[in-house]
A and B are shown apart, each in its own frame.
Chain A
Amino acid sequence: MIKQLFYITFILLLASCSEDTPVPMAEVYEIRNIGELSTTEYTVGKIVKLDDEAEEWYKIGDRKILIHSKAKIKAGVDLSKLKDDDIKVSGSAIEITLPPARITTFSMDPNLMRTEMESVTGLRSNFTQKEKNAFLKQGEEAIKKDILETGILKDASNNAEAFLIDFYTQMGFEKVIIKRTVQKDEK
């Protein structure tokens, strides 16, 4: 009986120290007017690789994980950045100075992420979802950096030029001159 009373008191003491974590409620949204012309779409894959070998003497075992991630990236030009003097019309000729191409949309569909391999040995703890999300965040940053090396911005500029030439030709302009603003990321 005394033993049971001891257990119950112990549990109640522990329970009195814990607090319910409130779930945050979010009802704030933002609406913006934009004017992006996206002209190229790349789908890229990346293997997120982590080898967490025990370096400290007190950690026993290793942890390894491979996650396949996929990103859809669109690039184009921001037409809302066009200033009044960027479009010049002279008779049947039109000249436009386009703003530099940039990434317009970057998305990583959660349904396209999958853990290909996960290995935990010894006394190491399993990978948590929080850790996996942290690895995917690093993967996302790496894709954002590497995508600029693929020539996506140059493709976007070329396609924007082709689209606008076609559009203004349909409008009846006989001569369409597109001038580009190239930025350092464009390769």
Chain B
Amino acid sequence: MGCIVLLILLVYNYFAPSEDSELKIADTPIHIESIKTIAEISTVSFKDEVVIDTVEYYGEYTSVFDPDEWMRVINRGVKRRLTLIVQGEVKYGIDLSNKNYSVKSNKDSIWVNLPAPKILDVIVTPSKTEIFQEQGSWSDNTRRKLEAKAKYRIQKNAEAISLRKKAQDNTVRLFKKLVRTKRTLIINFHHDK
């Protein structure tokens, strides 16, 4: 009887689904590692979603009596698979943190020299990352690499539709709003080497 109970326990523990939805993390404090004063003006936001997938297939056929071979048929040859859906955001704008801008004026005109727009942030977070499929056991390192790949692809997608011009136009619009004047406002963008 004891053996049967033990067997049931073993089978249950092996096949029971993980209880991830119920688990709550402990309340631990945050610690501030650094504080920086910056001056970044973001003028364009690009949001995208990418799918990143890695698959490992079964190797050579061994024997019909090997339980691993049964799984080969059930899983259609796929041994392990990890698929992530990552939503991310890219922000374009100008970075004035180093006071790399200048303003000159006379009675008729105001000249504002600004750095050229660039990517200021590529944002990904766990809340916008979905583990869509996890078949087999995967290491943290592999998941991190897939997430980094997703982040890189989101950035590349943003660069592919050349948002710098749009960011520049929006910056001009924003500065015209900030600089209320009857004088002519001339905004120039200088490109770093």
Write the B18-58 contact mask toward A (1 if CB under 8 angstroms, else 0): 10110111111111111111111111111111110100000
Most buried by B among A7, A147, A171: A171
| Residues of A within 8 A of B (CB-CB), count | 94
Which residues of chain A come closer than 8 Å to B178, judged between CB atoms?
Answer: 79, 82, 87, 167
User: Is the CB of B159 closer than 8 A to any CB of chain A?
Assistant: no
Most buried by A among B36, B53, B99, B126: B126
Would A38 and B42 count as touching, CB distance under 8 A? yes
Which residues of chain A come closer than 8 Å to B40, judged between CB atoms?
Answer: 37-38, 74, 76
User: Is the CB of A104 closer than 8 A to any CB of chain B?
Assistant: yes
Q: How extensive is the interface on chain B, given as a class?
A: 35 or more
Would B76 and A50 count as touching, CB distance under 8 A? no
Which residues of chain A come closer than 8 Å to B151, judged between CB atoms?
Answer: 109-110
Would A170 and B42 count as touching, CB distance under 8 A? no
User: Is the CB of B102 closer than 8 A to any CB of chain A?
Assistant: yes
User: Is the CB of A39 closer than 8 A to any CB of chain B?
Assistant: yes
Minimal beta-carbon separation of A185 from chain B (angstroms): 16
Would A14 and B74 count as touching, CB distance under 8 A? yes
Minimal beta-carbon separation of B131 from chain A (angstroms): 4
When the two chains form the complex, which single residue of B31, B132, B170, B179 contacts A24, counting CB atoms closer than 8 Å?
A: B132
When the two chains form the complex, which single residue of A25, A33, A48 contacts B170, counting CB atoms closer than 8 Å?
A: A33
Would A45 and B74 count as touching, CB distance under 8 A? no
User: Is the CB of A59 closer than 8 A to any CB of chain B?
Assistant: yes
The 9 closest A-B pairs by CB, nearest first: A110-B147, A136-B126, A123-B13, A170-B103, A131-B20, A26-B49, A49-B26, A107-B123, A130-B131
Residues of A within 8 A of B (CB): 4, 7-8, 10-12, 14-15, 18, 20-21, 23-26, 28-52, 58-60, 70, 74, 76, 79-80, 82, 87, 89, 94, 104-111, 113-115, 123-126, 128-143, 146-147, 150, 155, 159, 163, 166-167, 170-172
Q: 25 A-B residue contacts at CB 8 Å?
A: A23-B133, A26-B48, A31-B161, A33-B43, A33-B166, A35-B42, A35-B174, A37-B39, A37-B40, A45-B31, A46-B30, A50-B23, A58-B12, A80-B174, A82-B178, A89-B181, A106-B125, A129-B134, A129-B140, A130-B131, A142-B28, A142-B30, A146-B29, A159-B38, A167-B103
19 new A-B contacts, CB < 8 A, other than A11-B73, A74-B40, A113-B140, are A29-B157, A34-B44, A35-B41, A39-B37, A39-B39, A44-B30, A49-B26, A50-B25, A50-B26, A87-B178, A106-B123, A107-B122, A108-B126, A110-B143, A111-B148, A125-B13, A143-B30, A170-B102, A170-B103
Residues of B within 8 A of A (CB): 9-10, 12-14, 16, 18, 20-21, 23-51, 53, 64-65, 70, 73-76, 82-83, 85, 91, 93, 96, 99, 102-103, 105, 110, 120-127, 129-134, 137-138, 140, 143-144, 147-148, 151, 157, 161, 163, 166, 170, 174, 177-181
